[in-house]
Structure 1
Amino acid sequence: MGSEEDILARQDLDPVLNVKMHLVNNAIDEIGWTRYHWKLFFLNGFGYAVDSLLLLLQSIVASQAYMEFGSHGYSRALTIAVYVGMLTGALFWGLSADVIGRRFAFNVSLFVCSAATIVAGAMPSWPSLGLFVALLGFGGGGNLILDTTVFLEYLPGNKQWVLTAMACWWGFGQAIVGFIAWGFMAPAKWNCSSTETCTRENNMGWRYTMFTAGTLVFAMSVARITVIRLKETPKYLLGAGDDAQLVETLQAIAGRYNRPCSLTLEKLEGCGVVRGTHSKSRFSFSETLIHFRGLLATRQMVVSTILIWLSWALIGLAYPLFYVFLDTYLETRGASFNVSTYDTWRNYALVNISGIPSPILAGWLCKQPLLGRRYTMVIGALATAAFFFAYTAVRTEPQNVGFSCAIAFCLNVYYGTLYAYTPEVLPSAHRATGNGVAVACNRVMGILSAVIATVSNTSTPVPIYVCAALFVAMAGVSAMFPFEPHGRRSS
């Protein structure tokens, strides 16, 4: 036990923190995988599912809602609203999770999502709908950050690859919203066909979609606080200097599942006092500076952090070209292939289902010594780029569906691994902040992509070529990451 090296152990950080982190990692390894981790896998996975569900939800309902409200205003307003909400949510929940702890944000963020989603379905105007779409994005903005952070900080070192596999929930979220849309957006009785004849009464499909999705998110949020009573994570407690609570938390898990845990308060206190992870006042500008400086503490960490943020920005631009604007693209291709509305939404669901198994494959690839996390991302990015280039040759409906499914599969190999890699290589005391900035970079580029889509023609092959080139760039960035988590434990 405890023979594995911690990822940031050689970065000349606080020596007391390094020694204590090693002891805590040893204790987590000693306890091993338990039913508690299975619960976290499912409940944290809900957050992944909600993020992808919400991101696609607004793009699904936008056209019909815009038609009902007279097609007045900015047609891409909902896309920008959800990205602005997720941008502010990522920064808010990310920083607050490092300042006051993971537990509060983990329990509250999904409730905010569910309430805003349900209320959004009842909105009487385009501006008011945009407001609540921004609010549901704000609640969802913290999910990806907290889900990976909380799960990772309880994981044994030899099970960190499961963090990559957990991204399969992202595909479930996509598939669920695809099936909801198939059920409510396809029937003509719930969806009007022109602005002139569109009223609330004959255009309830998008509202039913919002109500159903919001209710599902509410059920997930209730499950989070009833199935598992989450305690603060051990590694947050370590950075906060609460050694007693840390030991109590790990001993309680060990006792509940009849596992050994040799970590004691005396061992931790004998190492000294951790300094520099918080300021005197938790709610101050200096506290924020400490968390940003902690991400750039050494030269290697500077390179690592910047490359991670760059990767999130690149995929933030590439991802919407395929998913957020997929409804527009499917409509143009559907007209060419003479596909019915029913078949269009069926195809939408099939494409989203294809993203479910790929993170599981990515998790297996991450365990291979010659690949690790970095080259798994390289494989996923290059495979996605290849299918994007090939997609421009599509001429038939079966080809359209087949290549779309292949792209969804390969894309999630890269995306799922990036989700896991990001918190793995960040220091625990500043992990949520770094993760939050990464996701915020993604959202900024998503906003930019919405503007680009407004002034460009998304029905031509040009965005496909651009997207393919971006994935080639992502593969190059992945190969340059300075840290490889395979065989090493998060710090």
Structure 2
Amino acid sequence: MEKNYAYSVLELIGWGKFNAMIFVQCGLSWSTFEIWFVNMGFVIEGTKEEWNLDTFTAGIVGSFMQVGLMLGSLFWGYIGNTYGRVKAFKTTAIIASAASVLLTFAPDPYVVGAGLFAMGFGLAGEISLGGTVFYEYCPPSKRYYMTLMSAFLSFGAITVTTIALLVSLYNTTGYHNWRVIVAIGSVIEIISMFFRFFMHETPAFLITQNKQSAADKILNIVSLKNTGKELSQVDHCSASLNPNELTQEILAHKEDKISTKGALKRLFTKPLLKTTIILGLVYMITHYSFSGFLYFMPEFLSEFSTSTAYAIILIQQLCGIPGVILGTYLVETRLGRRLTTNIFNILSGVAVIVFCFGDSFWFVVIVSGIIFMLVFLALSSMFTLGPESFPTSVRSTGLSLAMVCARFGGILSPIITGYLLEITNGFYISLALFCGAYIVSGFLVLLLEETKGKKIG
């Protein structure tokens, strides 16, 4: 795996205020992504009620968001790899904000589908570029914070679920609950968009484009913010590094500029071929289960009142936070990224099947809470393993391909699950598929290399 000169300098500067600010900005993009991802359950339920759709048709409407996510992953991977991570990252927020307004005032299911497609197209960049930007600004010794950043997913989910619960209890506007929930989400999306405009391009990307001077300027800004000291000459400030190693890094990156076609060719040839395929399968299978379980949770809880069901969903999302915190710790232990993802994906599958065997309030709360803790633990570990599995010059493209696979699983999930819930014993068949998918993805992870402690650029 390659090394990047920018990472050596970031390590010397160390973690500081600049990194904390990037952590929050990128984390907010993950929060807004999860707000809309969880919102899909309320949108599917709401469209069924407003236009008297059956579960299968509502699932098809919901799948438009996943189609947008899949195509957006391809598009933003190309834009991020060619024109810059941050330039693309800013644009995704504008598209998602515009789509949220369209979705709020959609007059029929067709416009809902169009709004969800546009939303997914924008959000595809939010989740993939948010992780890439943070990773490329992070000192190598602090990259386990990628796992902790997954807490923003939980915060987003908790935020929208709390909104949904309050709306279900106090909505007297005359508008359907799902529209009010979406409208509030739209305001949050627009506010988060403005924070994005003050971000700089990552120095690691600039170096792969042979823009050494521009990268040095950004590194100087990082140094001033973190240490209060100016970084006038990177070489001078890097004296504690092995001079030969640093020179090799600089020379190597004079030829690091790579086209999207070249990135794809590299990803599908050894030694990255196996990583690309396995990681894509893991993302696809995992997101099939995660999307279906999340989208149709209101349907799974239909025996409870709306406010009680939303309260249960809120508790489920709250349980994701200890999962993320535990995951942040475990990826730095002997388990590493790979085994943490492996073990907790399998345990997630086992817990999902247990969910079938009871329907009392406390049984559902406890078992589903455990499921969400395990799922978020595995996801947070996987979101660390993913970026670390690709070198800088192909990272944006590699992660975009993984996200395309994830979205393919996400497209299939609402359609298949929506169909199954219309047939006899469909509830049990759906959960059995979720269980099997988690277990298979857990074993597939074992085919990947452990990235903990490796210099990967």
**TM-score using structure 1 length:** 0.85
The equivalent residue for 2:86 is 103
Question: Aligned runs of 1:200-211 on 2, under 5 Å?
Answer: 202-211=174-183
Q: Does structure 2 retain, via aligned residues, the 8 Å contact 1:312–1:442?
A: yes
Moved more, 411-420 or 261-270: 261-270
2:412 pairs, out of 420, 434, 448, with 448
2:82, 2:169 → 1: CA distance?
Answer: 46
* Pairing 1:6-405 to 2, within 5 Å after superposition: 8-9=1-2, 18=3, 21=4, 23-71=5-53, 74-186=57-169, 189=172, 202-225=174-197, 229-258=198-227, 263-264=234-235, 271=251, 274-275=254-255, 277-278=257-258, 287-299=259-271, 301-331=272-302, 335=303, 339-368=304-333, 370-405=334-369
Q: Where does structure 1 differ by over 6 angstroms across 4 or more consecutive aligned residues? A: none
Q: CA separation in 2, counterparts of 1:387 and 1:311? A: 19
Aligned pair partner of 1:488 in 443, 454, 457: 454
Q: Amino acid of the residue matched to residue 135 of structure 1?
A: A
Larger mean CA deviation between 179-188 and 355-364 belongs to 179-188
Q: CA deviation at 1:489?
A: 3.3
Kept in 2: contact 1:45–1:147 (CA 8 A): yes
Cα-to-partner distance string for 1:113-161 (whole Å, 9 max, x where unaligned):
1221122111211111211121111111111111110001111111010
Q: Hey, what's the Cα distance between the residues in 1 that align with 2:77 and 2:250?
A: 31
Kindly provide the CA deviation profile for residues 8-42 of structure 1, in whole angstroms up to 9, marking residues without a partner as x: 14xxxxxxxx4xx2x43221110110111111111
Q: Is the 8 A contact 2:15 2:226 kept in 1?
A: no
Count of residue pairs the alignment pairs up:
442
Please say which of residues 158-167 and 348-357 is displaced more in the overlay: 348-357
Deviations 1:68-93 (A, max 9, x none): 23539932233111111111111111
Preserved CA contact (<8 Å) 1:321 1:464: no
Amino acid at match of 2:439: V
- Kept after mapping to 1: 8 A contact 2:337/2:452: yes
- Matching residue within 431, 435, 439 for 1:468: 435
- What do you get for the CA RMSD once the two structures are aligned? 2.2
The separation in 1 between residues aligned to 2:324 and 2:342, in whole angstroms, is: 14
SS in 1 for 2:185: helix
User: Matches of 2:95 and 2:144 in 1, distance apart?
Assistant: 30
Secondary structure, counterpart of 2:57 in structure 1? coil
Q: Alpha carbons of 1:272 and 1:118: their partners in 2 closer, same or farther (altered >3 Å)? A: closer
Call closer, same or farther: CA 1:404–1:270 in 2, change over 3 Å: closer
Could you say if the C-alpha distance between residues 256 and 169 of structure 1 is closer, same or farther in structure 2, counting changes exceeding 3 Å? Answer: closer
Secondary structure of the residue that 1:426 maps to in structure 2?
Answer: coil
Give the 3 Å change call, closer, same or farther, for CA 466–272 of structure 1 in structure 2: closer
Deviations 1:465-488 (A, max 9, x none): 221222111111112212x22122
Q: Provide closer, same or farther for how the CA distance between residues 215 and 153 of structure 1 changes in structure 2, counting only shifts above 3 A.
A: same
Counterpart-to-counterpart distance in 2, 1:90 and 1:146: 9
Deviations 1:419-461 (A, max 9, x none): 1211111111111111111111111111111221232127622
Relative to structure 1, the CA distance from residue 342 to residue 43 in structure 2 (aligned partners, 3 Å threshold; closer, same or farther) is same
Structure 1 residue aligned with 2:399: 435
Asked whether the 8 Å contact 1:90–1:439 carries over to 2, the reply is: yes
How far the C-alpha of 1:354 sits from its partner, in A, is 1.2
Task: Measure how far apart 1:308 and its partner are.
Answer: 0.6
The percentage of aligned residue pairs carrying the same residue is: 21
Segment drifting more, 203-212 vs 235-244? 203-212
Distance 1:441 1:241, change over 3 A: same
Give the gaps of 5 or more residues in structure 1. 1-7, 10-17, 191-201, 279-286
Residues in 2 aligned to 1:165 and 1:95: alpha-carbon distance in whole angstroms: 27
The equivalent of 1:412 in structure 2 is: 376
User: Does 448-457 or 42-51 show the bigger shift?
Assistant: 448-457
Cα distance change of structure 1 residues 297 and 66 upon mapping to structure 2, 3 Å threshold:
same
Range moving further from structure 2, 142-151 or 23-32: 23-32
3-state DSSP class of the match of 2:217?
A: helix
Secondary structure of 1:475's partner? helix
Question: Separation in 2 of the partners of 1:268 and 1:488?
Answer: 18
Q: In structure 2, the residue corresponding to 1:142 is in which secondary structure?
A: helix
Distance 1:71 1:393, change over 3 A: closer
Deviations 1:379-407 (A, max 9, x none): 22122122123222224210101111110
CA distance 1:57–1:468, change in 2 (3 Å): same
